[in-house]
Structure 1
């Protein structure tokens, strides 16, 4: 049976026009019942994660903050570990560390960074995770790998959370999900994008999702039952006519190779009434063990009734709340 944990929901964003609007955004996220407030790590985003997330933590009481995800190639892992430990300590243990191997070639080129092939970037991230874990758990770090060498580096401060903040790693292919299964606490399951920027139709199916979960299971071994599985909601459309909404979405984006039925069946697309979306979320946990869902901040108010219904509920808890008819 799939690993089933209580539901959690997170919001991901990039920036805000002002300090006041940034604070208002994170406080609204907390008030709506979301568990996490997340930032991606891109040069093209206005706010870099560490400073902005410390401000978010200071403006809230219980909201967890995190990265979705750090690009490993932008920082040396020893420096990143020191900064993350500091943020976790100063936030009272509310940080979640999302790590990725990097994928957006244009910003590498703009910043003068070498964009290595995927295998090299993944191997480098795998080594970085080992350095970071040593920093969190040992008095000093000594590591000699293909990409990083660290010698007797004193590891302080220590994070508030022990042995370390939860580590999230995500991906769509076998290699990256294998590393995630071996090293991470939270596994984010993504569509696999080819080098030419396209996505194979099989990625949108339950069978494709089942394969990803199985790769994680094989890599994690006995750890699998302790892992939390995560999904980024690619598209949210709350409507009483999902068929029409799907057809319109496909038509507007020129996706002639995808049928409305395939679009609606995709694990990554959430289209329908609030009740239909709740049923889909419950099915994804029942079928695959996915319990942690993240969506763009633009959707967070629309999605809030679903958070209110499901957040924190375990597989054995009945949902007794009722809601008025949707407009």
Structure 2
């Protein structure tokens, strides 16, 4: 049965692509039924704005998303110009994902202070506020979508989720805070993620239109042995047991029908309606999309 509430995205990797290869990948994503094609923002990959525009020229239906721009890398006035220009060239199909950035080596290479997590969130808050004003300036290029392209902000901490809940059209739950004991991020369990979802609902309660809830799959594995596959993914949640790993919506594990059922369950229980995977899982997850639609 078709569930028109559910949306699916794929984050494409633009490293080393020729124009023809990049456009063919994007056409394939559209053919598999993806609703959004995302372009990341990392220094080892091609620039997100040209990649987004080329993705748009190869496709007709999907939104083209920056998933996500590192807001700390950009002069806000110049970023507003690039966003507006991209939305014009995409004929109003841009989805604007913004984040704080998290790879310290990239900040160092770009000559941008890394600072604390609070520093980076503060700069993201400033970017969101300034962009609103810049898009209202009739003396600047104006995006097709008014007052601006739909905004997506993701994270796990309360401060960034509050920013998303009050300002964004899409809230993306990472469910993976930095864990000092591991020296990296680690997945939280289902109840901890539900607490953050409930927090966002409270923070967005006064908005006339509630934001969409998005999640990015860390790994998508088609398999008949779910438990064995989950054990192989333990690095994503070292302190979670197998049942907990199979319960979180940041990992898709099982046969295509099992993953489709997992998505329906997360949609019913958490209100997640927008599911994104990474490019290596594009073909496999396409089988899941086909079952849902």
Fold match (TM-score > 0.5)? yes
Show the counterpart of 1:193: 177
- What is the deviation of 1:17? 2.7
Distance in 2 between residues matched to 1:210 and 1:254, nearest whole Å:
18
Greater RCO, CA 8 A, separation 6+? 1
**Is 1:191–1:204's contact at 8 Å kept on the other side of the alignment?**
yes
Counterpart of 2:228 in structure 1 is 244
Calculate the TM-score normalised by the size of structure 2: 0.92
Matched residues in 2 for 1:233 and 1:224: separation?
Answer: 29
Residue of 263, 286, 299 corresponding to 2:245: 263
Partners of 1:9 and 1:34 within 8 A in 2: yes
Deviation at 1:125, TM superposition (A): 1.0
Bigger Rg, which one = 1
- The aligned residue for residue 18 of structure 1 is 18
Alignment pair present for 1:71 and 2:70? yes
Aligned CA-pair RMSD: 2.0
| C-alpha displacement of 1:206 | 1.5
Alignment of 1:164-313 (within 5 A): 164-194=148-178, 196=180, 197-199=183-185, 203-223=187-207, 226-250=210-234, 257-310=239-292
CA distance, structure 1, for counterparts of residue 158 and residue 167 of structure 2: 14
Task: Provide runs of 4+ in structure 1 moved above 4 Å.
Answer: 253-257
Distance, in Å, in 1 between the alignment partners of 2:17 and 2:283 is: 19
- Cα gap change, 1:184/1:249 in structure 2, threshold over 3 Å: closer, same or farther? closer
Structure 1-normalised TM-score?
0.83
Alignment: residue pair count? 288
Quote the Cα distance in structure 1 between the aligned partners of 2:141 and 2:184.
43
Q: Once the two structures are superposed, what CA deviation does each residue of 1:93-116 show, in whole Å capped at 9, x if it has no partner?
A: 010000011211111112222111
Residues 54-85 of structure 1: CA distance to partner in whole angstroms, max 9, x if unpaired?
11111111221111111111111111111111
Q: Take 1:87 and 1:257, find their aligned partners in 2: how far apart are those partners?
A: 42
The change in CA–CA distance for 1:114 and 1:63 in structure 2 (over 3 A counts) is same
The structure-2 alpha-carbon separation of the partners of 1:213 and 1:249, relative to structure 1 and needing over 3 Å to count, comes to closer
Deviation at 1:257, TM superposition (A): 4.2
Residues 100-144 of structure 1, C-alpha deviation per residue, up to 9 Å, x if partnerless? Answer: 1121111111222211111121111111111112222343xxxxx
Q: Name the structure 1 match of 2:44.
A: 44
Shift of residue 199, structure 1, vs aligned partner? 4.0
Mark the runs of 5 or more structure 1 residues left unpaired by the alignment: 140-153, 312-327
Q: Is the 8 A contact 2:100 2:120 kept in 1?
A: yes
